[in-house]
């Protein structure tokens, strides 16, 4: 007597893994969100429509979605690079803050002195330098003193915040101003906004915060990809992340690689300052990192620490941020706290619970083939 058992569940086809699984995840999230929205007495389909249209329904909303995505790309990449080296950089918030200080100081100091074609790259470099510098201290403490980088980077977020408040309130504040903000940047230090650029090219779109920093973000995605997978330095960095023993065996200097990884990471986070200050606010303001540094952790996890994945995750996060804003705008009974719940659920399903529907899909495919 031979009992035939059900065939084991094989792996999913690649296209199902890449396309179907994420879609099912998002759909599941929307179902749960819909139930919750219905409970507070709102038509879930109406809310969903507003959320989607709010994110991609007009050139203005697309602009804001991409603008938010730019920030998420920078911080997501920052977390991903450090993660490949086995380092958990929770200090993106502070590095973004100080990076913004860097580009802000450069523009404030040289705004009226040097032309824009020289100033903008210089200020971007300053943002990278300051961000990297802020990450270098925890990296140094980890490499030479053994202080855990998670702790030190968190502490450095607070230090950055305190430092910025001190500088803004006491040093950099525009004279006679009520607001703790610096004087406005000279126009030569602005990153052109996308609607101005496209208008000049004859394509009129609505005004939004989107600016050419997104090009920098995309270049960063590419640069991270090249660095991690196509240079010996990136190879050594990944080796260290997977197995420090193997890295030592291969002759990699762990201390130096830790510094390189964290400085690279900090520089990427510092670019948030470029997008926010040079691209949007055109002055140094308080609190512009607004949680992007922390959200970067989720973006990197969801994007599986791959630049392409980070890019897609950043787009989703950007769309949720923008769609959520519109949702709160259009339906007064959906408060901003409710929006955070909705965003959190979608991220939970498409990030943390990404493998939840896998067995169901596997059954489905197993029974079909």
Partner 1 sequence: MKRWLGSAITLIAMSVLAPVQAQTVVKPAVVYSTGGKFDKSFNEGVSAGVERFKKETSIPVAEFEPSNETQFEQALRRFAQRSQDPIIAVGFSQAVALDKVAREFPNIHFTIIDSVVDLPNVQSVVFKEQEGSFLVGVLAALASKTGKIGFVGGMDIPLVRRFQCGFEQGIKYANPNAELITNMTGTTPAAWNDPGRGAELAKGQFDRGVDVVYAAAGSTGIGILQAAKDRGKLGIGVDSNQNHLHPGTMLTSMLKRVDLAAYNSFKAAQAGDWKGGTQVLGLKEGGVDWALDKDNEKLVTPDMKLRVDAAKAGIVSGTIVVHDYMSNNSCKP
Partner 2 sequence: MQALTPTAAAIELREIEKSFGTVHAVRGVSLRIEKGAITGIVGENGAGKSTLMSILYGLYRADAGEIRVDGRPVAMASSREALGHGIGMVHQHFMLVDTFTVLENLVLGAEGGPLLAGGLEAARAELARLAREYGLSVDPDARIADLSVGEQQRVEILKVLFRGARILILDEPSAVLTPQETDRLFGVLASLRERGVTVVLITHKLREIVAVTDHVCVMRRGRVVAERRTADTNVEELAELMVGRKVRLDLDKIPPRLGEVLLRAEHLSLVDGRGVRRLDDVGIELRAGEIVGIAGVSGNGQSELLQVLSGIRAPDGGRLTVCGRVIDADHPGDPAEMRDLGVAHVPEDRLRQGMVAAFEASETSILGYQGRAPFTSYYLLDGPAVVAHCADLMERYDVRPRLPTLGSSLFSGGNQQKLVLAREIARQPRVLLVGQPTRGVDIGAIEFIRRELVKARDAGCAVLVVSVELEEILSLSDRILVMFAGRIVGEVEPGETNEPALGLLMAGAAAA
Binding site for partner 1 (CB under 8 A): 64, 67-68, 161-162, 165-166, 169-170, 173, 175-176, 178-181, 207, 209, 276, 280-281, 283, 285-288, 290-291, 325-326, 328-329, 332, 335-336, 339-340
User: What residues pair up with 193 in beta bridges, in sequence order?
Assistant: 211
* Cβ nearer to partner 1, comparing 111 with 241: 111
Whole-angstrom CA distances from 245 to 101, 231, 250 are 38, 20, 9
Q: At what angle do helices 254-273 and 292-302 cross, to 10 degrees?
A: 120
Whole-angstrom CA distances from 355 to 21, 35, 304 are 8, 22, 13
In angstroms, give the least distance from the CB of 19 to partner 1. Answer: 32
Three-state secondary-structure class, residue 193: strand
Q: Which does 11 bind (CB under 5 to 8 A by kind): partner 1, partner 2, none?
A: partner 2
Phi, psi at residue 250, to the nearest 5°? -80, 0
Question: Residue 123 has what DSSP assignment?
Answer: H
In angstroms, give the least distance from the CB of 250 to partner 1. Answer: 43
Measure the CA–CA gap between 8 and 157, rounded to whole angstroms.
49
226 forms part of the interface with partner 2 (CB under 8 A): yes
Q: Spell out, one character per residue from 250 to 279, where the chain touches partner 2: x when CB under 8 A holds, - when not.
A: xx-x--------------------------
* Cβ nearer to partner 1, comparing 238 with 282: 282
Three-state secondary-structure class, residue 353: coil
Q: Which does 222 bind (CB under 5 to 8 A by kind): partner 2, partner 1, none?
A: none
291 forms part of the interface with partner 2 (CB under 8 A): no
Measure the CA–CA gap between 165 and 170, rounded to whole angstroms.
8
Reading the block at residue 360, the tokens are 């169901």
Residue length of the chain:
369
* Cβ nearer to partner 1, comparing 176 with 251: 176
CB atoms within 10 A of CB 184: 16
219 forms part of the interface with partner 2 (CB under 8 A): no
In angstroms, give the least distance from the CB of 328 to partner 1. Answer: 7
Q: Do 87 and 80 form a contact (C-beta atoms < 8 A)?
A: no
Measure the CA–CA gap between 46 and 31, rounded to whole angstroms.
13
Q: Which does 290 bind (CB under 5 to 8 A by kind): partner 1, partner 2, none?
A: partner 1
Q: Spell out, one character per residue from 7 to 46, where the chain touches partner 2: x when CB under 8 A holds, - when not.
A: xx-xx-----------------------------------
In angstroms, give the least distance from the CB of 252 to partner 2. Answer: 8
Measure the CA–CA gap between 241 and 300, rounded to whole angstroms.
15
Residues that bind partner 2 (CB under 8 A): 1-5, 7-8, 10-11, 226, 229-232, 234-236, 238-239, 242-243, 245-246, 248-251, 253
């Amino acid at each position: 007597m031979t009992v035939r058992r059900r065939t084991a569940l094989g792996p999913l086809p690649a296209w199902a893994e890449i396309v179907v699984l994420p879609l099912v995840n998002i759909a599941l999230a929307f179902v749960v969100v819909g139930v919750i929205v219905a409970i507070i007495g709102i038509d879930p389909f109406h809310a969903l429509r507003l959320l989607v249209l709010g994110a991609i329904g007009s050139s203005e909303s697309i602009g804001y979605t991409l603008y938010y995505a730019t920030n998420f790309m920078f911080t997501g990449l920052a977390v991903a690079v450090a993660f490949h080296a086995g380092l958990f950089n929770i200090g993106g918030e502070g590095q973004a803050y100080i990076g913004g200080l860097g580009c802000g100081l450069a523009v404030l100091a040289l705004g009226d002195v040097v032309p824009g074609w020289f100033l903008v790259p210089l200020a971007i470099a300053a943002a990278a330098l300051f961000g990297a510098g802020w990450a270098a201290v925890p990296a140094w403490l980890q490499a030479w003193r053994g202080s855990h980088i998670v702790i030190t980077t968190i502490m450095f977020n607070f230090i950055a915040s305190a430092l910025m408040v001190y500088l803004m309130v006491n040093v950099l504040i525009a004279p006679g101003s009520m607001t703790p903000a610096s004087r406005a940047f000279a126009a030569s230090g602005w990153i052109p906004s996308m609607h101005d650029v496209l208008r000049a090219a004859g394509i009129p779109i609505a005004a939004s915060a989107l600016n050419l920093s997104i090009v920098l973000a995309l270049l960063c995605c590419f640069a991270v990809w090249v660095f991690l997978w196509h240079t010996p330095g990136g190879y050594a960095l990944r080796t260290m992340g997977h197995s420090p023993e193997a890295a030592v065996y291969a002759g990699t200097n762990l201390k130096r690689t830790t510094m390189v990884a964290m400085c690279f990471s900090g520089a990427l986070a510092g670019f948030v300052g470029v997008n926010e200050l040079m691209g949007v606010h055109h002055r140094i303001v308080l609190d512009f990192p607004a949680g992007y540094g922390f959200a970067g952790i989720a973006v990197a996890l969801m994007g599986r620490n791959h630049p392409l994945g980070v890019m897609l995750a950043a787009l989703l996060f950007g769309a949720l941020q923008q769609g959520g804003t519109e949702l709160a705008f259009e339906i007064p009974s959906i408060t901003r706290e409710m929006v955070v719940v909705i965003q959190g659920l979608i991220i939970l399903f498409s990030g943390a619970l990404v493998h939840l529907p896998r067995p169901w899909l596997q059954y489905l495919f197993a029974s079909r083939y």
